[in-house]
């Protein structure tokens, strides 16, 4: 298990490295790097441990599905898909470029492996619910639909309509992961519109709710394994994360909600990621 956790931690570092490369040298300008970095550890666990997907058959009917409802964090999805082998890593440098398959929000069947076109916040959970119910009718209910929501996105009314409907319709093959990094595009979540008590809200709607440290790979794998195997009710996992995680000058800094690295910032970020990988290899991280 320790070797597997080490592998997943290193993959999360590589996903962050891919995103920093894209925000420094990509053809499409700056990317939404802060909200993508907060989700990197979760993405690594999903694509390299939890979910059943096939890069050679991106639309395999019996696959698990992942919906990035917070579609502005597209970079983390594209990096995970590239590392999984859905398309060449070199293509990551085309994020947001004109005519690229890797548009500024994930587009279904444009980029291989994208399960839903996202961008307008609040839509992902309703679509995920529809997909989960369709999978039940098609006999693939043993697979899961994983929907990642932003915490700021949970201010959208559509989220709560779908949250109310999912237990009613028995969508126990649906799992929500809330990237709870405490920021939204315009500032601090608690100053704009607090969500507390967030756990109690989801419980009141009939979900099985868990909380996890979204940067502790052991905790991530443990909680997402429970979500994968749980039946009877849909699952909500509240992941406590740090916006900009992994790059010291980006952490807790909402100026990096969207941006482009200068060369000196790129060099510093890559140095930090190299140090993190070395610490993982040495068993210190």
DSSP 127-160: HHHHHHHHHHHTT-TTS-EEEEEETGGGGSHHHH
Return phi, psi of residue 174, to 5°: -120, 130
Spatial separation of the C-alpha atoms in residues 233 and 120, rounded to whole Å: 27
**In Å, how far from its chain's centre is CA 229?**
19
Distance (Å, rounded) from C-alpha 36 to C-alpha 20?
10
Closest CA to 128 of 146, 113, 110, 151: 146
For the segment 52-83, what is each residue's pLDDT rounded down to a tens digit?
999 999 999 999 999 999 999 999 999 999 99
What percentage of the chain exceeds 90 in pLDDT? Answer: 94
Q: Where are the beta strands (DSSP E) in 117-247?
A: 145-150, 174-180, 183-184, 187-188, 208-213, 235-240
pLDDT exceeds 90 at position 119:
no
Give me the mean pLDDT over the 102-120 stretch: 93
Q: Please say if the pLDDT value at position 29 is more than 80.
A: no
Domain boundaries, the chain: 2-281
Summarised one tens digit per residue, pLDDT across range 229-244 is 999 999 999 999 999 9
Q: What is the pLDDT of residue 193?
A: 94
Share of the chain above pLDDT 70, in %: 100
| Average pLDDT over the chain, rounded to an integer | 96
* Cβ 147 vs Cβ 179: under 8 Å: no
H/E stretch holding 67: strand 65-68
Whether pLDDT at 143 is above 80 = yes
| Integer Cα distance of 157 and 91 in angstroms | 36
What is the CATH topology of the domain spanning 2-281? Rossmann fold (3.40.50)
Q: Which carries the bigger pLDDT value, residue 28 or residue 211?
A: 211
Range 86-103 average pLDDT: 95
């Amino acid at each position: 298990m320790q070797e597997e956790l080490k592998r997943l931690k290193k993959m999360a570092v590589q996903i962050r490295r891919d995103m920093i490369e894209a925000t420094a040298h990509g053809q499409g300008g700056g990317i939404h790097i802060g909200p993508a970095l907060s989700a990197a550890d979760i993405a690594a666990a999903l694509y390299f441990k939890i979910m059943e997907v096939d890069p050679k058959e991106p639309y395999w009917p019996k696959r698990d599905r992942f919906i990035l409802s917070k579609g502005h964090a597209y970079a983390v999805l594209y990096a995970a898909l590239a590392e999984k082998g859905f398309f060449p890593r070199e293509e990551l440098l085309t994020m947001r470029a004109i005519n690229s398959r890797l548009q500024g929000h994930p587009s279904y069947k444009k980029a291989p492996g994208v399960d839903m076109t996202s961008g307008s916040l609040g839509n992902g959970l309703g679509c995920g619910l529809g997909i989960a119910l369709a999978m039940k009718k098609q006999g693939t209910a043993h697979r899961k639909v994983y929907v990642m929501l932003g915490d700021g996105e949970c201010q959208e009314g559509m989220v709560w309509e779908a949250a109310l409907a999912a237990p009613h319709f028995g969508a126990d093959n649906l799992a929500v992961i809330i990237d709870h990094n405490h920021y939204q595009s315009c500032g601090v979540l608690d100053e704009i519109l607090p969500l507390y008590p967030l756990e109690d809200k989801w419980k009141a709607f009939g979900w099985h709710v868990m909380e996890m440290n979204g940067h502790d790979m052991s905790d991530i794998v443990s909680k997402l394994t429970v979500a994968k195997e749980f039946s009877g009710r849909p699952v909500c996992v509240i992941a406590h994360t740090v916006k900009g995680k992994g790059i010291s000058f980006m952490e807790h800094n909402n100026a990096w909600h969207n941006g482009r690295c200068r060369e000196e910032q790129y060099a510093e970020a890559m140095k930090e990621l190299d140090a993190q990988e070395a610490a993982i290899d040495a068993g210190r991280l």
